[in-house]
Chains A and B, each alone.
Chain A
């Protein structure tokens, strides 16, 4: 555990030395807040709160898919990674460290969205709901972390960047993150429950306001978690087999 923290610390250091990387995952959701949420839902307290929660979901998704998808793929290409395997620790602390660092960066990338929501819109959150939302962020990070790991362990870094970009926009729009709950265009309402983004968004909405979650979306989120975990585990083992067996 001690070592996992050490690994997390140095991975964060590596990322923070290139601030653009942090900026990148925070930028898009923050920009979406300013262009879509502030002008349209800015005055309506409940609407602005839900919209901010949607953007938080968006932010969690993009931060995780990119940092794991691209980060892991790049790491695998570096000889430093095999070197760390010769240290008397094995792969577990590095992996745990990566997940801890990922979660920390996810929270970091949420700060602009939260700040914009609190200052430029009528969004309101009680301290208890805020804590609940923080917890929900950790939970909804799970499927997107797994998705990122699956991408990162199965593809070389150049392909991983492309795939990460290709999956994240349809997931955001298709999951109805850019519309108020229940207010997306018809076909999106139809497909949304089947995407992991919707289940995640529903959890966030339920954490921040008076929202009854749709069971189908949550069940599908569970299905996605199992599916993505299987895929990530398969990709991880295949990669281990190629490089370390």
Chain B
């Protein structure tokens, strides 16, 4: 059963096309990671799915209905930005307030304990630390016993312990049959939680695949060197020659360098660099995009790259 769906959904803000004909289906029981750099369109997609925004064209659906209809939102849970919690209200009051919107909310104490903030019931949210506020914000998504939770960057800015507490809670929800759509710009987070990853870049779905497949793509490194002739090398996904330097994109740079040395190839000026998410995806998908600012502009320099 499909709980959330985007069908050719586009969203434009003035001149900016934030989402470009996005297709997405989240089925019951899945834990889907939405991965992409900042500004890729993840939050816009989330906002469409929870009914805060309307697609400029295309359709979005929640439990088969329009997300803008409150009835469609009865079985979802959403996280507020932690900076937005009403500072003068106590933790318990915020939970009670959200609970009042649902027919069968999780008891307050049980919910707060699950997120390790049971001892903060009486504290005003304005006095909490960033991590505590973030945990409360995520807890609020689970108050109404949702079937689907949509978590927009749930652990950004958290320390390791707090992050693991949240991950455990999200996993426990999923193990009980809950469905999760979670956005992040950390591959690590998506790897830790999700089995399926949807990669978004520049408003479009670039990849929709398993974590393993995406890890293979994102783990790509750039090995560059000066050499005349190269033998057949393992794990090379793309080769390009720019200003006399050879750039090899590889899934296993260690193996590649070992092979280079053992074959006795003559080379100088060896460099191994990680590729950014954007670079990796743009390279793999063969998009003819200008390089992202601050990133090496080599991905598309020197003409159309050969895509493998």
Listed in ascending order, the chain A residues whose CB lies under 8 Å from chain B are 2-3, 6, 10, 13-14, 17-18, 78-83, 85-90, 244-245
Query: Lowest 10 CB-CB distances: which A-B pairs, in order?
Result: A79-B84, A83-B80, A17-B88, A80-B84, A79-B81, A86-B78, A88-B74, A6-B100, A87-B101, A88-B73
Write 22 A-B pairs (CB below 8 A) sorted by A numbering.
A2-B100, A10-B86, A10-B89, A13-B89, A14-B88, A14-B89, A17-B88, A17-B89, A78-B84, A80-B80, A83-B78, A83-B81, A86-B51, A86-B73, A86-B78, A87-B70, A87-B73, A87-B78, A88-B71, A88-B144, A89-B70, A90-B70
A13 contacts B93, CB within 8 Å?
A: yes
Chain B neighbourhood of A13, CB < 8 A: 88-89, 93
B80 contacts A79, CB within 8 Å?
A: yes
B267 at the interface (CB under 8 A from A): no
A85 contacts B52, CB within 8 Å?
A: yes
B85 at the interface (CB under 8 A from A): yes
**Which residue of chain A is the closest to B54 with respect to CB atoms?**
A245
A88 contacts B102, CB within 8 Å?
A: yes
Chain B neighbourhood of A83, CB < 8 A: 78-81, 84
**Which residue of chain B is the closest to A91 with respect to CB atoms?**
B70
B297 at the interface (CB under 8 A from A): no
A244 contacts B100, CB within 8 Å?
A: no
B88 contacts A18, CB within 8 Å?
A: yes
Chain A neighbourhood of B101, CB < 8 A: 3, 87-89
Query: In the bound complex, how far is the Cα of B98 from the Cα of A141, in angstroms?
Result: 30
Q: Quick one: which of A2, A10, A14, A85 contacts B51, CB cutoff 8 A?
A: A85
Contact with A along B61-91 (1 / 0, CB 8 A): 0000000001101101011110111101100
Q: Quick one: which of A3, A14, A86 contacts B86, CB cutoff 8 A?
A: A14
Q: Which of A13, A81, A88 is packed against the most chain B CB atoms within 10 Å?
A: A88
18 more A-B residue pairs beyond the given contacts A86-B73, A87-B78, with a C-beta to C-beta distance below 8 A: A10-B86, A13-B93, A17-B88, A17-B89, A78-B84, A78-B86, A79-B80, A79-B81, A83-B80, A83-B81, A85-B51, A86-B78, A87-B73, A88-B71, A88-B73, A88-B101, A90-B70, A244-B53
Query: In the bound complex, how far is the Cα of B74 from the Cα of A86, in angstroms?
Result: 9
Chain A neighbourhood of B124, CB < 8 A: 17
A79 contacts B83, CB within 8 Å?
A: yes
A10 contacts B80, CB within 8 Å?
A: no
A82 contacts B88, CB within 8 Å?
A: no
B52 contacts A244, CB within 8 Å?
A: yes
Query: In the bound complex, how far is the Cα of B89 from the Cα of A47, in angstroms?
Result: 44
Known: A13-B88, A18-B88. A88 touches B80 (CB 8 A): no
Contact with A along B248-290 (1 / 0, CB 8 A): 0000000000000000000000000000000000000000000
Chain A neighbourhood of B88, CB < 8 A: 13-14, 17-18
In the assembled complex, the CB of B115 is this many whole angstroms from the nearest CB of chain A, namely 17
B50 at the interface (CB under 8 A from A): yes
In the assembled complex, the CB of A10 is this many whole angstroms from the nearest CB of chain B, namely 5
Query: In the bound complex, how far is the Cα of B41 from the Cα of A48, in angstroms?
Result: 64
**Which residue of chain A is the closest to B100 with respect to CB atoms?**
A6
In the assembled complex, the CB of A97 is this many whole angstroms from the nearest CB of chain B, namely 11
Query: In the bound complex, how far is the Cα of B93 from the Cα of A79, in angstroms?
Result: 18
B73 contacts A3, CB within 8 Å?
A: no
Query: In the bound complex, how far is the Cα of B88 from the Cα of A14, in angstroms?
Result: 6
In the assembled complex, the CB of B5 is this many whole angstroms from the nearest CB of chain A, namely 17
Known: A10-B89, A13-B93, A87-B101. A82 touches B73 (CB 8 A): no
In the assembled complex, the CB of A237 is this many whole angstroms from the nearest CB of chain B, namely 14
**Which residue of chain B is the closest to A7 with respect to CB atoms?**
B97
In the assembled complex, the CB of A1 is this many whole angstroms from the nearest CB of chain B, namely 12
Chain B neighbourhood of A86, CB < 8 A: 50-52, 73, 76, 78
**Which residue of chain B is the closest to A78 with respect to CB atoms?**
B84
